[in-house]
Amino acid sequence: MTDRQIIQVINPNTSLAMTETIGAAARAVAAPTTEILAVCPSAGVASIEGHFDEAVATIGVLEQIKAGREQGVCGHVIACFGDPGLLAARELAQGPVIGIAEAAMHMATMVATRFSIVTTLPRTVVIARHLLQQYGFERHCAALHAIDLPVLALQDGSGVAQEKVRQGCIRAKQQDGSGAIVLGCGGMANLARELTQELGIPIVDGVGAAVKMVESLVALGLSTSKHGDLDYPVRKTLTGQFKHLN
């Protein structure tokens, strides 16, 4: 990698504070030749904590993918732990698109035989379970834990949510026999490095993992396959508010 390249990191919710946290975590691991373009949709949901939120957020993700592609970014990261709109985004994108849940799960399996997940609300545990099934990582995941605080508690400046994540990771390490822990929210991206040092086991943040995966794929000259189902969407009439996605 010699040329400068831009990786677009999309926070699928509309929280600017969380977009900043995610962007900073991405920049902390990016290669010197990588520029991180951290963005979020202009309209959508303030945080993503359920199936409805994911459905609403997905159009904003696709709009950002289209904008990033037009700006010539080399790849995209979807920085929400439900990986909302991942396959649709791959159809629209030219470069690689990596979701933070899939990135973190993949990396965790490379440093431990079993991992645990620490996420936000109990209802988001179901979303993570579905992803484990979809990606084939069920056998690798020992347990899922919820800190029982909403996503935006990670941005309130009190440190309460961060302490709950820390306690959740300690509990997961002690109870589950897992060799690694996956942080189950984009808003936890800034916690991985310190927790890894404190707990002495790999604590995997999907934002950093996804940025390094995009860099690796680009360096290897590998991009989203346009042979088969991930080919660009079939051109057809899109009406009303969706016209601009064509």
Binding site for ligand 2AL (CB under 6 A): 13, 47-49, 80-82, 119-120, 124, 151, 184-186
**199 Cβ contact partners less than 8 Å away, ≥ 6 residues apart:** 169, 170, 173, 181
CB nearer to ligand 2AL: pick between 74 and 188: 188
Rounded distance between C-alpha atoms, residue 102 and residue 133, angstroms: 11
Q: How near is the Cβ of 48 to ligand 2AL at its closest, in Å?
A: 4
CB nearer to ligand 2AL: pick between 34 and 119: 119
Q: With 0-12 CB in 10 A as exposed, 13-18 as middle and 19+ as buried, what is 138?
A: exposed
Question: 2 is written with which tokens?
Answer: 């010699």
Tell me if 179 sits within 8 A of 114, measured CB to CB. yes
CB nearer to ligand 2AL: pick between 39 and 151: 151
Q: How near is the Cβ of 226 to ligand 2AL at its closest, in Å?
A: 28
Q: How near is the Cβ of 220 to ligand 2AL at its closest, in Å?
A: 27
Q: How near is the Cβ of 206 to ligand 2AL at its closest, in Å?
A: 8
Q: How, if at all, do strands 115-119 and 180-184 pair? A: parallel
CB nearer to ligand 2AL: pick between 74 and 121: 121
Question: 81 is written with which tokens?
Answer: 């732990």
